[in-house]
């Protein structure tokens, strides 16, 4: 879950360029970062604990001065704590070779012991391992192989053969303007910028999408030698243990790279919630408008093809993690409403709970398209005749490239770790699929009409706008802020709902945990009496999702009220409880209730977090919660 950047160019590179490239990767990890150059005349490597914005800028300029080739890394800790020693780049014993790594080397201890034993047998001093990471073994592995007279390419061949796990690795040598990059499992992409005579290798296109639109994506077991004006790609042949040169054609990528500033908002999370009406309109235009736009035409065509594929399949299985899993749960619910057998499985447990055969359609739901649990779930299932489709926010990502059909959710770049606008657009995209399925099926016209009314997304962007709009007084937002002040000191919060409200309850509880650091539990309301009711006592906050289309949940609200719970209702009707009332939802429209309640839940979470302090009395880091990262690229 780390971010890699490597750049080599004809002219010297400024510190501002390197920092900007790395800053655009920081959503992948922000525990620490480091930069190294290939110039022996200056300090070669500098590491920092904490976020890039808090770094010693003078130190960055020192390491970046007078150089044309760099590698850099921003870290999310897996092996070893957040220390300067564990930060990347890692260096060999001779201070002549630097590596950055994203992924996990599963057998790093075995490789480390093998390296040390070999040195002992040769009567040499053992390697000086300075970190507790799995990554440092890569630097010493290359050190020994190169010392024995092998070329970098030969060493990569040996590493492919011996290493187990997932990895994207970039290697740089002192006084060598070539960057060496290779991958298995973890993502890696090369950006080609002829205008500035530079090549940039990174974990994803967001690193350089503001500098070039030409990119080459690394496939599995590929290796590249990259110079400022040239590159060569090789593919590893496992049978022969050889890297064979291969031809790669650059893609012209189009990617909505939004303004990454906060635009006057206190946090990116709030800015991104406020952007939801805009991205909802863009997605609905892409899926529905007949404006002749070629890109949008492809989206509409793909959605129609996916609907046909769903109808032809015996079962549909959504596979996802985190917020995307909750969107998948909603998808399974609404596909069930139109007569499709659909399930949602958490990606990390996918193979343990899923029947896979030629009659199964697997639909991956992922924001980044690089979630390792999702990628692992998808690997190899095509060989079993399983069809793969996906809903993805990042074009050209690994999951998109693994899919037979992929729908772009058009949410744009999301900086905050908490998924907000991506989650809303995932729901809208999946509901649009359910509506398109109705066009493929041959249902009775009256039945179809009723289902279309239940699934209608008419005016949804405008309704979101009424919740999120920046007015001097926004009635709903003011209600949310008042409730947030009352809940800010809570240690436990329960969110209950039935049917389609259950996934929304799960999503709200996840947001409260990851952003406000409150223990929260989203529940099927009917399950309260099977254990959780024992935890309800005087003053325990319970948020109840009460749609006018399903008032059965009111009996469960009475159960917790009888035990002294503090009730906050989210409803499209007035209730006897303190209520945040959602405006203008057409009677019975479950889709719009789910979406608008989710938006209110995001705002509530944000304002609760904004009211809270950490153990040192400081404001919470809302955009970058502790221990988390935006893109989860490890299992």
225 and 269 fall within a common domain? no
Instruction: Answer yes or no: are the C-beta atoms of 37 and 88 closer than 8 Å.
Output: no
- Indicate if 203 and 319 belong to the same structural domain: no
**Mean local confidence (pLDDT), 514-524:** 96
Give this prediction's pTM. Answer: 0.88
- Cis preceding linkage at 89, omega within 30: yes
Q: Which of 271, 436, 624, 630 is catalytic?
A: 630
The parent domain of residue 511 ranges over 471-635
Mean per-residue pLDDT, 518-527: 96
Q: Does 116 lie in the same domain as 38? A: yes
- What would the mean pLDDT of 576-597 be, rounded to a whole number? 88
- Which residue is it, tokens 């729908």? 407
| Residue 203, in any domain of the structure | yes
Task: Find where tokens 């800015």 sit.
Answer: 271
Query: To the nearest whole number, what is the mean pLDDT of the chain?
Result: 91
**pLDDT in the model for residue 23:** 87
- How many C-beta atoms surround the C-beta of residue 87 within 10 A? 24
Quick check: helix, strand or coil at residue 26? helix
Tell me the C-alpha distance between 82 and 372, whole Å.
Answer: 22
Distance between terminal CA atoms of the chain? 10
Q: Are residues 215 and 235 in the same domain?
A: yes
Give the pLDDT mean for 504-529: 96
CATH of the domain at 144: 3.60.20.10
Q: Which residues contact 265 (CB under 8 A, 6 or more apart)?
A: 271, 274
pLDDT of residue 634: 64
Q: How confident is the model at residue 30 (pLDDT cuts 50, 70, 90)?
A: confident
Task: Tell me: pLDDT of 310 over 90.
Answer: yes
Q: Are 188 and 181 in contact (CB under 8 A)?
A: yes
Q: In this model, does residue 181 exceed pLDDT 70?
A: yes
pLDDT at 430 (0 to 100): 97
In the residue annotation, 581 being an active-site residue is answered as: no
% of the chain at pLDDT higher than 70: 95
The better pLDDT of the pair 56, 18 is held by 18
Residue 504 falls within a domain, yes or no? yes
Does residue 43 surpass a pLDDT of 70?
A: no
Angle subtended at Cα 205 by Cα 298 and Cα 217, rounded to the nearest 5 degrees: 80
The single residue listed with the structure tokens 């650059």 is 250
Q: Which helix (H) or strand (E) holds 522?
A: strand 519-524
- pLDDT tens digit sequence for 345-387: 999 999 888 788 889 999 999 998 988 899 989 988 887 889 9
Q: Residue 573 burial (CB < 10 Å; 0-12/13-18/19+)? A: middle
d(CA 412, CA 198): 26
> What mean pLDDT do residues 409-427 have?
94
User: Does residue 444 surpass a pLDDT of 90?
Assistant: no
**Distance, C-alpha 203 to centroid of its chain:** 13
Query: Smallest Cα–Cα separation from 608: which of 549, 577, 574, 568?
Result: 568
The reply to whether 93 belongs to the active site is: no
> 580 by DSSP, 3-state: which?
strand
Instruction: Evaluate whether residue 407 is within a structural domain.
Output: yes
The token duo for 438 is 């109705």
Residue 418 φ then ψ, to 5°:
-70, 125
Residue 475 sits in a domain whose CATH number is 3.40.50.10490
- End-of-domain residue from the set 434, 457, 480: 457
Q: What is the pLDDT of residue 260?
A: 64
With a cut of 80, say whether residue 470 has pLDDT above it: no
Enclosing H/E stretch for 488: none
In whole angstroms, how large is the CA radius of gyration of the chain? 26
Instruction: For residue 345, give the 3-state DSSP assignment.
Output: strand
Positive or negative, the CA dihedral 64, 68, 73, 74 is positive
Which has more pLDDT, 203 or 64? 203
199 pLDDT exceeds 60? Answer: yes
Helix (H, G, I), strand (E, B) or coil at 187: coil
Looking at the predicted structure, is the pLDDT value of residue 621 above 80? yes
Q: What is the Cα–Cα distance from 385 to 391, expressed in whole angstroms?
A: 20
pLDDT tens figures, 546-555:
999 888 999 9
SS3 245: strand
The reply to whether 496 and 620 lie within a common domain is yes
CA atoms within 13 A on the CB side of 413: 22
Residue 338 resides in a domain: yes
Domain boundary among 207, 231, 252: 252
- Both tokens of 239, joined, read 């049978």
My answer on whether 315 and 411 are in the same domain is yes
Together in a domain, 192 and 270: no
Rounded CA-CA distance 176/37 in Å is: 10
Please give the structure tokens belonging to residue 188: 């890696």
Q: Which residue has the higher pLDDT, 189 or 30?
A: 189
User: 291 pLDDT exceeds 60?
Assistant: no
CB crowding 457-489: b at 16 or more within 10 Å, else e = beebbebbbbbbeeeeebebbebbbebbeebbe
Is 463 a domain residue?
no
Looking at the fold, whether 514 and 579 belong to one and the same domain comes out as yes
Count structural domains, the chain: 3
Q: How far apart are CA 127 and CA 115, in angstroms?
A: 8
Same domain, 525 and 592: yes
Q: Return the closest-CA partner of residue 354 out of 331, 330, 378, 338.
A: 378
Distance CA 472, CA 45 (A): 50
- The reply to whether 245 and 265 lie within a common domain is no
pLDDT tops 70 at residue 391: yes
* Higher pLDDT pick, 61 / 121: 121
The answer to whether residues 484 and 377 belong to one domain is no
The residue-averaged pLDDT of 403-432 equals 95
How confident is the model at residue 41, as a pLDDT?
Answer: 62
Q: Is the pLDDT of residue 120 over 60?
A: yes
Q: Which of 409, 426, 457 is the last residue of a domain?
A: 457
Residues paired with 567 in a beta bridge:
542
Residue 557 lies in a domain: yes
pLDDT at 52: 81
Task: Kindly state the tokens that stand for 19.
Answer: 């920092």
Give the tokens for residue 553.
């949940």
Region 52-60: mean pLDDT is 70
Least Cα distance to 201 among 177, 185, 179 occurs for: 179
Distance between CA atoms of 92 and 112, rounded to whole angstroms?
Answer: 13
Distance CA 494, CA 487 (A): 12
Residue 466 lies inside a defined structural domain of this protein: no
Rounded to the nearest 5°, which phi and psi values hold at 370?
-125, 10
Point out the catalytic residue in the list 2, 47, 112, 513: 2
Task: Tell me, yes or no, whether 328 lies in a domain.
Answer: yes
Measured between alpha carbons, how far is 96 from 618 in angstroms, rounded to an integer? 41
Helix (H, G, I), strand (E, B) or coil at 591: helix
| Beta-carbon count within 10 A of 148 CB | 9
Q: What is the pLDDT of residue 295?
A: 61
pLDDT of 558: 95
Reported as a single tens digit per residue, the pLDDT across 57-79 is 666 766 776 789 999 999 988 88
Q: What local confidence, expressed as pLDDT, does residue 296 receive?
A: 75
Pair 516, 619: CB distance under 8 Å: no
Regarding whether 453 and 309 lie in a shared domain, the answer is yes
């Amino acid at each position: 879950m780390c971010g890699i950047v490597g750049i080599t160019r004809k002219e010297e590179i400024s510190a501002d360029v390197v920092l900007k490239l790395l800053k655009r990767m920081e959503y992948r990890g922000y525990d620490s970062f480091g930069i190294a150059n290939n110039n022996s005349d200056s300090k070669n490597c500098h590491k920092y604990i904490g976020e890039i914005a808090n770094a010693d800028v003078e130190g960055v300029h020192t390491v970046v001065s007078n150089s044309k080739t760099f590698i850099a890394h921003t870290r999310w800790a897996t092996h070893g704590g957040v220390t300067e020693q564990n930060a990347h780049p890692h260096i060999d014993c001779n201070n002549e070779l630097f590596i950055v790594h994203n992924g996990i080397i599963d057998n790093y201890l075995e490789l480390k012991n093998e390296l040390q034993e070999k040195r002992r047998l040769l009567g040499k001093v053992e390697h000086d391992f300075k970190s507790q990471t799995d990554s440092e073994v890569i630097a010493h592995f290359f050190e020994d192989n190169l010392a024995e007279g092998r070329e970098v390419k030969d060493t990569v061949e040996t590493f492919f053969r011996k290493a187990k796990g997932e990895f994207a690795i970039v290697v740089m040598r002192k006084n060598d303007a070539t960057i060496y990059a290779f991958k298995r499992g973890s993502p890696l992409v090369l950006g080609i910028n002829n205008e500035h005579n530079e090549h940039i290798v990174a974990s994803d296109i967001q690193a350089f999408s503001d500098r070039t639109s030409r990119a080459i994506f690394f496939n599995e077991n590929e290796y590249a030698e990259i110079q400022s004006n040239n590159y060569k790609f090789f593919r590893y042949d496992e049978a022969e243990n050889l890297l064979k040169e291969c031809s790669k054609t650059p893609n012209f990528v189009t990617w909505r790279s939004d303004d990454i500033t906060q635009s006057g908002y206190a946090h990116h999370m709030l800015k991104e919630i406020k952007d939801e009406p805009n991205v909802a309109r863009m997605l609905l235009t892409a899926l529905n408008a007949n404006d002749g736009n070629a890109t949008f035409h492809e989206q509409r065509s793909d959605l129609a093809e996916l609907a046909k594929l769903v109808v032809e399949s015996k079962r549909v299985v959504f596979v996802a993690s985190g917020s995307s899993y909750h969107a998948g749960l909603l998808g399974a619910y609404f596909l069930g409403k139109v007569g499709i057998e659909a399930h949602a499985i958490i990606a990390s447990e996918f193979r343990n709970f899923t029947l896979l055969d030629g009659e199964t359609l697997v639909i991956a739901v992922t924001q980044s398209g690089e979630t390792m649990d999702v990628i692992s779930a998808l690997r190899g299932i095509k060989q079993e005749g399983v069809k793969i489709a996906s809903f993805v926010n990042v074009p050209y990502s690994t999951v998109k490239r693994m899919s037979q059909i992929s729908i772009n959710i058009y949410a744009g770049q999301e900086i905050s770790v908490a998924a907000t606008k991506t989650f809303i657009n995932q729901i809208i995209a999946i509901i649009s699929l359910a509506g398109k399925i109705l066009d493929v099926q041959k249902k009775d016209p009256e039945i179809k009409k009723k289902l279309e009314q239940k699934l209608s997304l008419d005016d949804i962007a405008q309704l979101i706008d009424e919740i999120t709009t920046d007015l001097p007084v926004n009635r709903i937002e003011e209600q949310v802020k008042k409730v947030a002040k009352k809940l800010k000191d809570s240690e436990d919060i329960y969110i209950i709902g039935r049917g389609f409200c259950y996934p929304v309850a799960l999503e709200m509880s996840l947001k409260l945990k990851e952003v406000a650091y409150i223990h929260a539990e989203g529940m099927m309301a009917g399950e309260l009496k099977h254990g959780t009711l024992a935890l309800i006592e005087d003053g325990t906050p319970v948020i109840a999702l009460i749609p006018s289309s399903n008032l059965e949940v009111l009996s469960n609200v009475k159960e917790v009220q009888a035990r002294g719970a503090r009730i906050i209702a989210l409803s499209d009707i007035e209730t006897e409880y303190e209520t945040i009332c959602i405006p203008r939802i057409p009677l019975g429209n479950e889709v719009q209730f789910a979406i608008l309640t989710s938006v209110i839940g995001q705002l509530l979470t944000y304002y609760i977090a904004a009211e809270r302090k950490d153990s040192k009395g400081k404001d919470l880091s809302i955009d970058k919660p502790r221990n988390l990262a935006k893109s989860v690229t490890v299992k």
